[in-house]
């Protein structure tokens, strides 16, 4: 069950408890909240089994769209991924800024920056993954969290990015303690790159806010770097 669906279940249970406590004060029959809660739990179960939790993800994303602050944070997070990937010469194939956009494009999850991972997958299949390539991808994965911390002082997103790093470490059959060290190192590397290219980052944030295509975003980054 996805974390989003688990959160919805927790909210549902909390609602049931509060309704049971406060219902008598407003003459609310206990049958009403019980039916509502069981209905929501049924939907959550169906979402988990049939849609792999995407329904709950889309609902949370739709609610978050009413918060401009949340959208700006998402854009700044994804701009961190985009800029660092560009600087480390990892090809960017596209980006989405919400689960709805990702759903329309047939992509899983909450959306984000998509990379060409053919080189990484090829080396993984051959079992000859170079340390340099590992470092490049780890830095890109941690760049979203680094961007949030740089701008806001903390990070709300990045769980999926850390999971990617852990999956890679599992495939490489390395200890998780080593993975945590690499995560911290990659975060510092990403932050250094973002700080060194702050004008390019701000231009990229503006471009992504305006939903500019990947080619235009790249062009703006290069203009900022060259100037």
Q: What pLDDT, on a 0 to 100 scale, did the predictor assign at position 222?
A: 96
Q: What is the pLDDT of residue 9?
A: 52
Domain identity same for 15 and 126: no
In this structure, what token pair is assigned to residue 151?
Answer: 């701008």
Residue 159's pLDDT is 87
Q: Which residues pair with 96 in a beta bridge?
A: 112
pLDDT at site 72: 92
My answer on whether 127 and 201 are in the same domain is: yes
pLDDT at 96: 86
End position of a domain, from candidates 16, 44, 64: 64
- How confident is the model at residue 178, as a pLDDT? 87
Cα-Cα-Cα-Cα dihedral sign, residues 31, 36, 42, 45: negative
Last residue of a domain, which of 35, 64, 93? Answer: 64
> Could you tell me the residue range of the domain that residue 54 belongs to?
3-64
Give the burial class of 78: count Cβ atoms within 10 A of its Cβ; 0-12 exposed, 13-18 middle, 19 or more buried. buried
pTM of the model: 0.73
> What pLDDT score was predicted for residue 30?
58
Residues 18 and 121 grouped into a single domain = no
120 plus 93 within the same structural domain: yes
DSSP SS3 for 226:
helix
CA dist., res. 32 & res. 47, Å (int): 23
- Predicted local distance difference test score (pLDDT) of residue 140: 96
**Burial class of residue 81, CB neighbours in 10 A (0-12, 13-18, 19+):** buried
39 and 76 both lie in a single domain:
no
Quick one: 56 and 75 in the same domain?
Answer: no
**What's the number of domains the chain is made of?**
2
Whether 2 contacts 52, CB under 8 Å: yes
> What residue ranges of the chain have pLDDT lower than 50?
1-5, 43-44, 46-56, 58
Check residue 86 and give its pLDDT: 97
């Amino acid at each position: 069950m996805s974390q989003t669906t688990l959160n919805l279940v927790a909210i549902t249970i909390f609602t049931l408890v509060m309704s049971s406590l406060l219902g008598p004060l407003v003459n609310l029959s206990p049958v009403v909240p019980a039916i509502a809660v069981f209905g929501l739990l049924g939907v959550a179960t169906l979402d988990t089994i049939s849609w792999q939790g995407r329904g709950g993800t889309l609902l949370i994303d739709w609610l978050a769209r009413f918060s401009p602050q949340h959208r700006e944070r998402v854009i700044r997070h994804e701009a961190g991924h985009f800029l660092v990937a560009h600087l480390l010469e990892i090809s960017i194939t596209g980006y989405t800024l919400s689960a709805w956009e990702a759903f329309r494009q047939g992509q899983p999850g909450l959306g984000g920056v998509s990379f060409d991972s053919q080189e990484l997958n090829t080396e993984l299949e051959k079992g000859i993954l170079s340390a340099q390539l590992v470092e490049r991808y780890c830095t890109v994965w941690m760049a979203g969290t680094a961007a949030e911390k740089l701008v806001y002082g903390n990070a709300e997103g990045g769980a999926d990015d850390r999971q990617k790093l852990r999956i890679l470490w599992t495939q490489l059959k390395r200890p998780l303690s080593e993975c945590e060290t690499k995560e911290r190192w990659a975060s510092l590397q990403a932050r250094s790159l973002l700080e060194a290219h702050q004008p390019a980052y701000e231009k990229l944030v503006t471009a992504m806010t305006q939903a500019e295509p990947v080619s235009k975003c790249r062009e703006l980054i290069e203009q900022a770097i060259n100037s």
